[in-house]
Amino acid sequence: MNFTKAEFARSAADPKDFLRDGLPQMAFAGRSNVGKSSVINRLVGRKNLAYVGATPGKTTQINYFKVDGRAWLVDLPGYGYAKVSRSEKERWGRLMERYFQDEGDILTVGVLIVDARHKPTDDDVTMYNWFRESGCPEIVAANKLDKLKAREVEPNLALIRQTLEMADDEPLVPFSAEKGTGREQLIALLEAVCGK
Ligand code: GDP
Protein backbone atom coordinates (compact mmCIF):
# COMPACT_ATOMS: atom_id res chain seq x y z
CA MET A 1 0.00 0.00 0.00
CA ASN A 2 1.38 3.36 -0.93
CA PHE A 3 0.84 5.45 2.18
CA THR A 4 1.97 8.59 0.45
CA LYS A 5 -1.18 8.40 -1.67
CA ALA A 6 -3.44 9.57 1.11
CA GLU A 7 -6.23 12.07 1.01
CA PHE A 8 -8.70 13.50 3.45
CA ALA A 9 -12.21 12.17 2.86
CA ARG A 10 -14.53 13.26 5.64
CA SER A 11 -15.10 14.00 9.29
CA ALA A 12 -17.74 12.25 11.36
CA ALA A 13 -19.12 13.67 14.58
CA ASP A 14 -22.01 11.26 14.54
CA PRO A 15 -22.48 7.55 13.73
CA LYS A 16 -24.59 8.40 10.69
CA ASP A 17 -21.40 9.68 9.08
CA PHE A 18 -19.26 6.62 9.89
CA LEU A 19 -17.86 4.90 6.82
CA ARG A 20 -18.90 1.30 6.33
CA ASP A 21 -17.88 0.56 2.76
CA GLY A 22 -15.99 -2.66 3.50
CA LEU A 23 -12.50 -1.25 2.98
CA PRO A 24 -10.15 -2.08 5.89
CA GLN A 25 -10.03 0.54 8.61
CA MET A 26 -6.85 1.36 10.51
CA ALA A 27 -7.86 3.39 13.54
CA PHE A 28 -5.32 5.62 15.30
CA ALA A 29 -5.85 6.68 18.90
CA GLY A 30 -3.80 8.56 21.45
CA ARG A 31 -3.75 11.09 24.22
CA SER A 32 -3.68 14.70 23.08
CA ASN A 33 -0.17 15.92 22.36
CA VAL A 34 1.28 12.40 22.14
CA GLY A 35 2.04 13.15 18.51
CA LYS A 36 -0.81 11.27 16.80
CA SER A 37 -1.07 13.85 14.02
CA SER A 38 2.70 13.83 13.59
CA VAL A 39 2.75 10.01 13.38
CA ILE A 40 0.03 10.07 10.72
CA ASN A 41 1.84 12.79 8.79
CA ARG A 42 5.07 10.79 8.97
CA LEU A 43 3.31 7.67 7.67
CA VAL A 44 1.88 9.51 4.68
CA GLY A 45 5.03 11.55 4.17
CA ARG A 46 3.19 14.85 4.46
CA LYS A 47 3.70 17.79 6.78
CA ASN A 48 0.11 18.58 7.52
CA LEU A 49 -2.40 16.04 6.30
CA ALA A 50 -3.49 15.56 9.90
CA TYR A 51 -3.54 18.86 11.71
CA VAL A 52 -0.71 19.13 14.24
CA GLY A 53 -1.43 20.96 17.44
CA ALA A 54 -5.22 20.61 17.16
CA THR A 55 -6.99 22.44 19.92
CA PRO A 56 -9.88 21.42 22.13
CA GLY A 57 -13.11 21.91 20.26
CA LYS A 58 -11.91 19.52 17.60
CA THR A 59 -11.93 16.67 20.05
CA THR A 60 -15.18 15.06 19.07
CA GLN A 61 -14.81 14.16 15.47
CA ILE A 62 -13.34 11.24 13.61
CA ASN A 63 -11.32 12.08 10.51
CA TYR A 64 -11.08 9.66 7.62
CA PHE A 65 -8.22 9.57 5.14
CA LYS A 66 -8.20 7.20 2.19
CA VAL A 67 -4.88 5.46 1.65
CA ASP A 68 -4.00 4.41 -1.89
CA GLY A 69 -7.67 3.70 -2.63
CA ARG A 70 -7.35 0.56 -0.50
CA ALA A 71 -7.91 1.34 3.15
CA TRP A 72 -9.13 3.99 5.54
CA LEU A 73 -6.81 5.65 7.97
CA VAL A 74 -9.14 6.65 10.77
CA ASP A 75 -7.94 9.44 13.04
CA LEU A 76 -9.89 9.00 16.27
CA PRO A 77 -10.27 12.12 18.41
CA GLY A 78 -7.52 12.51 21.02
CA TYR A 79 -8.27 12.23 24.72
CA GLY A 80 -6.92 13.64 27.93
CA TYR A 81 -7.07 17.34 27.08
CA ALA A 82 -6.80 19.24 30.33
CA LYS A 83 -9.22 21.98 29.36
CA VAL A 84 -12.12 20.07 27.92
CA SER A 85 -15.57 20.57 29.41
CA ARG A 86 -17.45 17.72 30.96
CA SER A 87 -20.08 17.79 28.23
CA GLU A 88 -17.42 17.53 25.57
CA LYS A 89 -15.80 14.61 27.38
CA GLU A 90 -19.17 12.90 27.43
CA ARG A 91 -19.63 13.57 23.73
CA TRP A 92 -16.21 12.03 23.10
CA GLY A 93 -17.13 8.96 25.16
CA ARG A 94 -20.41 8.46 23.32
CA LEU A 95 -18.74 8.82 19.93
CA MET A 96 -16.06 6.26 20.83
CA GLU A 97 -18.63 3.88 22.22
CA ARG A 98 -20.61 4.08 19.01
CA TYR A 99 -17.51 3.61 16.87
CA PHE A 100 -16.28 0.58 18.78
CA GLN A 101 -19.71 -1.01 18.98
CA ASP A 102 -20.76 -0.26 15.43
CA GLU A 103 -22.67 -3.14 13.94
CA GLY A 104 -20.88 -2.77 10.64
CA ASP A 105 -17.81 -4.31 12.32
CA ILE A 106 -15.82 -1.51 10.80
CA LEU A 107 -12.56 -1.78 12.69
CA THR A 108 -9.75 -3.81 11.09
CA VAL A 109 -6.73 -2.86 13.17
CA GLY A 110 -6.09 -0.44 16.01
CA VAL A 111 -2.97 1.65 16.47
CA LEU A 112 -2.55 3.07 19.95
CA ILE A 113 0.08 5.78 20.19
CA VAL A 114 1.70 6.24 23.56
CA ASP A 115 4.58 8.41 24.74
CA ALA A 116 7.83 6.43 24.82
CA ARG A 117 9.00 8.52 27.78
CA HIS A 118 6.16 7.78 30.15
CA LYS A 119 4.16 5.04 31.76
CA PRO A 120 0.85 4.79 29.83
CA THR A 121 -1.96 6.75 31.51
CA ASP A 122 -5.20 5.23 32.76
CA ASP A 123 -6.86 6.61 29.63
CA ASP A 124 -4.27 4.83 27.48
CA VAL A 125 -5.06 1.57 29.27
CA THR A 126 -8.79 2.12 28.74
CA MET A 127 -8.30 2.79 25.03
CA TYR A 128 -6.03 -0.23 24.68
CA ASN A 129 -8.73 -2.39 26.24
CA TRP A 130 -11.43 -0.98 23.97
CA PHE A 131 -9.42 -2.08 20.96
CA ARG A 132 -8.77 -5.45 22.55
CA GLU A 133 -12.43 -5.99 23.39
CA SER A 134 -13.41 -5.15 19.83
CA GLY A 135 -11.45 -8.25 18.83
CA CYS A 136 -9.28 -6.55 16.22
CA PRO A 137 -5.50 -6.84 16.18
CA GLU A 138 -3.76 -3.98 17.91
CA ILE A 139 -0.42 -2.29 17.42
CA VAL A 140 1.12 0.02 19.98
CA ALA A 141 3.52 2.71 18.77
CA ALA A 142 5.77 4.31 21.39
CA ASN A 143 6.30 7.78 19.93
CA LYS A 144 8.91 10.46 20.70
CA LEU A 145 11.63 7.81 20.91
CA ASP A 146 14.14 10.49 19.92
CA LYS A 147 13.63 12.07 23.33
CA LEU A 148 14.99 9.00 25.13
CA LYS A 149 18.58 8.21 25.97
CA ALA A 150 19.72 4.86 24.53
CA ARG A 151 19.79 3.22 27.95
CA GLU A 152 16.22 4.30 28.66
CA VAL A 153 14.70 2.61 25.63
CA GLU A 154 14.42 -1.01 26.81
CA PRO A 155 13.14 -0.30 30.35
CA ASN A 156 10.60 2.20 29.01
CA LEU A 157 9.30 -0.25 26.41
CA ALA A 158 9.07 -2.92 29.12
CA LEU A 159 7.05 -0.57 31.32
CA ILE A 160 4.66 0.17 28.46
CA ARG A 161 4.15 -3.55 27.77
CA GLN A 162 3.62 -4.27 31.42
CA THR A 163 1.22 -1.37 32.07
CA LEU A 164 -0.96 -2.18 29.07
CA GLU A 165 -0.71 -5.91 29.88
CA MET A 166 0.26 -6.62 26.29
CA ALA A 167 0.53 -10.21 25.16
CA ASP A 168 4.03 -11.24 24.06
CA ASP A 169 2.97 -11.53 20.44
CA GLU A 170 1.40 -8.08 20.32
CA PRO A 171 3.61 -5.60 18.51
CA LEU A 172 5.13 -2.58 20.21
CA VAL A 173 6.84 -0.32 17.70
CA PRO A 174 9.44 2.19 18.89
CA PHE A 175 8.59 5.28 16.85
CA SER A 176 9.75 8.80 16.24
CA ALA A 177 7.50 10.97 14.10
CA GLU A 178 10.29 13.52 14.25
CA LYS A 179 13.03 11.26 12.86
CA GLY A 180 10.99 8.68 10.96
CA THR A 181 12.06 5.76 13.17
CA GLY A 182 9.61 2.85 13.03
CA ARG A 183 7.76 3.98 9.91
CA GLU A 184 8.64 0.91 7.85
CA GLN A 185 7.87 -1.47 10.70
CA LEU A 186 4.48 0.11 11.37
CA ILE A 187 3.57 0.03 7.67
CA ALA A 188 4.59 -3.64 7.43
CA LEU A 189 2.41 -4.49 10.43
CA LEU A 190 -0.56 -2.59 8.98
CA GLU A 191 -0.11 -4.29 5.60
CA ALA A 192 0.02 -7.68 7.28
CA VAL A 193 -3.55 -7.08 8.44
CA CYS A 194 -4.99 -4.89 5.69
CA GLY A 195 -3.15 -6.21 2.64
CA LYS A 196 -0.22 -4.81 0.71
P1 GDP B 1 -1.46 15.18 18.76
O2 GDP B 1 -2.17 16.15 19.65
O3 GDP B 1 -1.39 13.82 19.38
O4 GDP B 1 -1.97 15.12 17.34
O5 GDP B 1 0.07 15.63 18.71
P6 GDP B 1 0.85 16.51 17.63
O7 GDP B 1 1.16 15.68 16.42
O8 GDP B 1 0.13 17.79 17.45
O9 GDP B 1 2.25 16.70 18.38
C10 GDP B 1 2.34 17.33 19.64
C11 GDP B 1 3.73 17.92 19.81
O12 GDP B 1 4.70 16.88 19.91
C13 GDP B 1 4.16 18.78 18.62
O14 GDP B 1 4.90 19.86 19.14
C15 GDP B 1 5.05 17.85 17.82
O16 GDP B 1 6.03 18.54 17.07
C17 GDP B 1 5.70 17.02 18.92
N18 GDP B 1 6.08 15.66 18.45
C19 GDP B 1 5.28 14.76 17.85
N20 GDP B 1 5.95 13.62 17.58
C21 GDP B 1 7.22 13.80 18.02
C22 GDP B 1 8.40 12.98 18.03
O23 GDP B 1 8.43 11.83 17.59
N24 GDP B 1 9.51 13.52 18.60
C25 GDP B 1 9.53 14.77 19.12
N26 GDP B 1 10.67 15.20 19.66
N27 GDP B 1 8.45 15.58 19.13
C28 GDP B 1 7.30 15.10 18.58
CATH number of 6-194: 3.40.50.300
Task: Answer whether 8's CB lies under 8 Å from 74's CB.
Answer: no
Q: Are 42 and 56 in contact (CB under 8 A)?
A: no
Q: What sign has the CA pseudo-torsion 60, 193, 154, 35?
A: negative
How far apart are the C-alpha atoms of 21 and 182, rounded to whole Å? 29
In this predicted structure, what is the pLDDT of residue 83? 80
Does the CB atom of residue 176 touch ligand 1 within 6 A? yes
pLDDT value, residue 82: 76
Residue 15, classed as helix, strand or coil, is helix
Rounded CA-CA distance 135/21 in Å is 19
pLDDT of 19: 95
Task: State the distance from the centre of ligand 1 to the C-alpha of 131, rounded, in angstroms.
Answer: 23
In order along its 196 residues, the chain shows pLDDT tens digits of 999 999 999 999 999 999 999 999 999 999 999 999 999 999 999 988 887 655 555 668 999 999 999 999 999 999 988 788 889 889 999 999 999 998 878 899 999 999 999 999 999 999 999 999 999 999 999 999 999 999 999 999 999 999 999 999 999 999 999 999 999 999 999 999 999 9
- Torsion over CA: 177, 67, 8, 10 (sign): negative
Q: Residue 134 has what pLDDT?
A: 93
Is 24 touching ligand 1 by the criterion CB < 6 Å? Answer: no
The predicted pLDDT at position 50 comes to 81
pLDDT of residue 48: 84
Give the three-class secondary structure for 133.
helix
Describe the crossing of helices 86-100 and 122-134 by its angle, rounded to 10 degrees.
20
The pLDDT value given to residue 96: 94
pTM of the model: 0.95
Decide: 63 in ligand 1 pocket, CB within 6 A.
no
13: Cβ–Cβ under 8 A, 6 or more apart, which residues? Answer: 60, 61, 62, 95
Residue 116 alpha carbon to ligand 1 centre in Å: 12
